[in-house]
């Protein structure tokens, strides 16, 4: 068996095209342009690359792109004041504070200052609680992208046995909540899980998000299972996922590659979340297929 490759790059392009269509409709029918504000503190090289890419793609879909850069030695209060201004700005529908922040700043405090309705990263504790209780929330981009790809590949996920390897607040926990929302039977596995390989082997869907290169081997996978690899690890061999791709692809029914799998979906879902936030702010129907 050779797994079907779930092409995240191609799927992300479709999502961005759908976002662009909704943006054009909002402009033409309502005179509204969704706006995304990105705050970058310091000069972390990876963060600068991400912010530049986000700005480029935001403009490509026709949205308003606002970028704010502060020095690494800026006071935490400076960031909080900027966030407060963006919260009050009606042209801004989504706010993203690029992480990591400098060590003298408290990330949780800064994220908590963002208006939950504009929290397009889905990290605010209010959105975490809304998602956990099955209510309307802003959803973290990476898990949302994984869910979109799973729905596209399988259609109905109801009744499927899903194992999420990893319990982070950014991916593992919200991923489990989303799968529960689609009526999967969900297990969250982690480093303390006993007989981890056996637990994973029972799954129809495996989402690997642990940050350990090639941790998940072919012997962990039930024949025909769908494997979503969230991991991005830099090794001497280049970028690799949490899944040992080539052997697993011989067992799985479908698999995401690294790179080119989940990664491209994260920015696409950031754009989707901004459009969703804009529609909610203006009491308009939410775009179909761009949220959970």
Pairing label, strands 4-5, 254-255: parallel
User: Distance (Å, rounded) from C-alpha 247 to C-alpha 212?
Assistant: 17
Q: Which candidate in 54, 118, 173, 222 is catalytic? A: 54
**Measuring CA to CA, how many Å separate 73 from each of 81, 100, 192?**
15, 14, 39
Q: Which candidate in 18, 98, 242, 244 is catalytic? A: 98
- Cβ pair 15, 269 in contact under 8 A: yes
User: Distance (Å, rounded) from C-alpha 248 to C-alpha 225?
Assistant: 10
Residue 89 DSSP SS3: coil
User: Distance (Å, rounded) from C-alpha 246 to C-alpha 3?
Assistant: 10
Annotated active-site residue 54? The verdict is: yes
Q: Is the dihedral of CA 113, 114, 117, 123 positive or negative?
A: negative
Q: Is the dihedral of CA 211, 217, 222, 228 positive or negative?
A: positive
User: Any residues with CB less than 8 A from the CB of 24 and at least 6 apart, and which?
Assistant: 62
Q: Is 118 exposed, middle or buried (0-12, 13-18, 19+ CB in 10 A)?
A: buried
Bond from prior residue into 259 cis (ω within 30 degrees of 0):
yes
Annotated active-site residue 98? The verdict is: yes
End-to-end CA distance of the chain: 31
- Cβ pair 110, 76 in contact under 8 A: yes
Q: Which candidate in 115, 119, 121, 204 is catalytic? A: 121
Annotated active-site residue 177? The verdict is: no
Closest-CA residue to 163 (of 145, 189, 137, 140): 189
What are the residue numbers of the active site?
A: 54, 98, 121
């Amino acid at each position: 068996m050779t797994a079907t490759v779930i092409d995240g790059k191609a799927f992300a392009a479709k999502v961005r095209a759908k976002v662009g269509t909704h943006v054009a409709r909002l402009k033409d029918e309502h005179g509204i342009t969704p706006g995304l504000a990105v705050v970058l503190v310091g000069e972390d090289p990876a963060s600068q690359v991400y912010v530049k890419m986000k700005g480029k793609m935001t403009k490509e879909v026709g949205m308003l792109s606002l970028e704010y850069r502060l020095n690494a030695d800026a006071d935490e209060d400076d960031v909080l004041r900027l966030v407060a201004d963006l919260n009050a700005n009606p042209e801004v529908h989504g706010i993203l504070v690029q992480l990591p922040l400098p060590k003298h700043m408290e990330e949780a405090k800064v994220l908590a200052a963002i208006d939950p309705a504009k929290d397009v990263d889905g990290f605010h504790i209010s959105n975490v609680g809304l998602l956990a209780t099955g209510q309307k929330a802003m959803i973290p981009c990476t898990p949302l992208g994984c869910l979109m790809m799973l729905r596209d590949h399988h259609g109905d996920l109801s009744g499927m046995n899903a194992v999420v390897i990893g319990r982070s607040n950014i991916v593992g926990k919200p991923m489990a909540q989303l799968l529960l929302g689609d009526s999967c039977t969900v297990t969250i596995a982690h480093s303390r899980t006993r007989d981890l390989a056996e637990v994973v082997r029972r799954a129809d869907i495996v989402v690997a998000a642990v940050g350990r290169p090639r941790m998940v081997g072919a012997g962990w996978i039930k024949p025909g299972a769908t494997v979503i690899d969230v991991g991005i690890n830099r090794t001497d061999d280049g970028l690799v996922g949490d899944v040992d791709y080539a052997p697993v692809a011989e067992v799985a029914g479908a698999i995401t590659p690294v790179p080119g799998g989940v990664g491209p979906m994260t920015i696409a879902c950031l754009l989707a979340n901004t459009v969703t936030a804009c529609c909610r702010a203006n009491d308009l129907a939410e775009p179909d297929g761009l949220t959970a």
